[in-house]
Structure formats: C-alpha cells, structure tokens
C-alpha cells in the first residue's frame, strides 16, 4: 500500500524523536469521506494519564477545524479502553513505519479493538507514529511515554496527538516549525510544541485546502 512506499524515504532520514509517518500524496486516510465519523479509542492502563485528555482535546481540535472549513466533523466521541499495552507489539509497529521492518502479524491486540482509530499510550520511548492497520481503514497511533521530554513538556502532548491525527486525516509534513504538521525532512522537533499556555499549533493554508479537497462534498 501507499504508506509502505514511503518507508524507504523514511529510512534514509535521521531518526526523529516523535514523528512518525509520511503520508504520501494520495492518502489512505480518506475513509471518512462520504461515510460516518471515525470512532476513536484511547488504550492504556491509566485513565488519569494526561494523554487521555490530550487525545480528547486533539479530537475536538480537528472537529472544530473541519467545522470552520464547512466540513462535517471527522471524529466521533472518544472512548477510553483500560488495558495494558503490548509494548513489544507497539514498538514493532513503530519500527515498521520508521525503519521499514515488516508489519506485525494481524489480527492482533490492536486490530481487535473496535474503533477506527486506536491511540495507544506507551510507557516506552518509542518513536510516536500513525500507521494504517490491515489496509481496511483502521489506524493505530502510538504515543510515547510522557514521563520524559518531549512529552513531559507543557503543551506538547495535545499537539503531538493532533499531529498524528493529522496524518490519519491525510496530511503530510510541512517545513514550518510554527505549524502543527511540521516534520521530516524539516528539522522540526516536538519539543517546539512546548508552551506555557495551552494552544494548538496552526495548519497552513495549503493543508486547509487539502482537507477541503479530501472531505468537501
């Protein structure tokens, strides 16, 4: 699938501590087009994890962005599923996206979650990512531990989750460090999302136009 096609490019690039997936020009991510909203489940052992609320905020962010664009909101409500994360499996997905290793066998603990988008909260310093699961419109978003930088820094978790959901929605990277979707090959780092005030970084006009193109009707 198209997602895999970009892996060779990613492999050639310097490892990037929080990001993740290049979405090629024609994303697999437009499943919401003309269909229902995407259901989201956040999975992790601790419902009080700050990343749960960060995920809810990120989903609300995208729903507001789409409303501002005159588009139907892409995401349904967010559920929390309390369960341990199979860290080895999650790390294997991260490596499959970032390093071009074979994707883990499916079905597995993540593909069995009854949600269009599964956001897994890792306790490890994995490289965060968004990966298409089984080519059927399901997505796995892996979020690294928030006990160390950059996710321990204020304002970073909500923007990191929003960035990964931007890939789910079909956006790639730009090179403007003041924007949400900045990423490789630009030298952006998620620590740049740090802010004493809670705020989301912005989209570019080109990205807003792309969303209209993908989701307009």
Residues of the shown chain interacting with Zn ion in the complex, contacts defined by CB under 5 A:
19-20, 183
d(CA 33, CA 30): 5
122's tokens: 């890792």
CB nearer to Zn ion: give 80 or 141: 141
Q: Which two tokens stand for residue 104?
A: 């883990």
For the bound state, the minimum distance from the C-beta of residue 133 to Zn ion, rounded and expressed in Å, comes to 17
How many whole angstroms separate alpha carbon 104 and alpha carbon 202? 34
Burial (CB < 10 A; 0-12, 13-18, 19+), residue 125, is middle
**Smallest gap from residue 107 Cβ to Zn ion (A):** 26
The DSSP H or E segment spanning 44 is strand 38-44
d(CA 10, CA 5): 10
Q: How far is the CB of 82 from Zn ion (least distance, A)?
A: 27
The least distance separating Zn ion from the CB of residue 83, rounded to whole angstroms, comes to 26
Beta carbon nearer to Zn ion, 44 or 183:
183
Measured from the CB atom, the residue of 20 and 146 that comes closer to Zn ion is 20
80 or 122: CB nearest Zn ion: 122
């Amino acid at each position: 699938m198209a997602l895999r096609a970009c892996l060779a490019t990613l492999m050639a690039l310097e490892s990037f501590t929080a990001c993740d997936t290049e979405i090629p020009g024609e994303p697999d991510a437009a499943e919401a087009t003309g269909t229902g909203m995407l259901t989201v489940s956040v999975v992790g052992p601790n419902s009080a994890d700050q990343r749960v609320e960060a995920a809810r905020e990120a989903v609300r962010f995208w729903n507001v962005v789409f409303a501002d664009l005159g588009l139907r909101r892409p995401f349904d409500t967010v559920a929390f599923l309390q369960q341990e994360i199979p860290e080895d499996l999650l790390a294997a997905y991260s490596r499959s996206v970032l390093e071009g290793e074979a994707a883990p066998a499916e079905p597995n603990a993540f593909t069995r979650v009854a949600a269009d988008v599964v956001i897994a909260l890792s306790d490890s310093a994995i490289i965060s990512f968004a990966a298409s699961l089984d080519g059927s419109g399901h997505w796995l978003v892996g979020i690294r531990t928030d006990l160390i930088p950059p996710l321990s820094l204020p304002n970073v978790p909500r923007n990191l989750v929003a960035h990964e959901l931007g890939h789910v929605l079909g956006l790639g990277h730009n090179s403007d460090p003041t924007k949400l979707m900045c990423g490789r090959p630009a030298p952006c780092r998620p620590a740049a999302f740090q802010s004493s005030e809670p705020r989301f970084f912005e989209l570019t006009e080109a990205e807003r136009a792309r969303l209209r193109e993908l989701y307009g009707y």
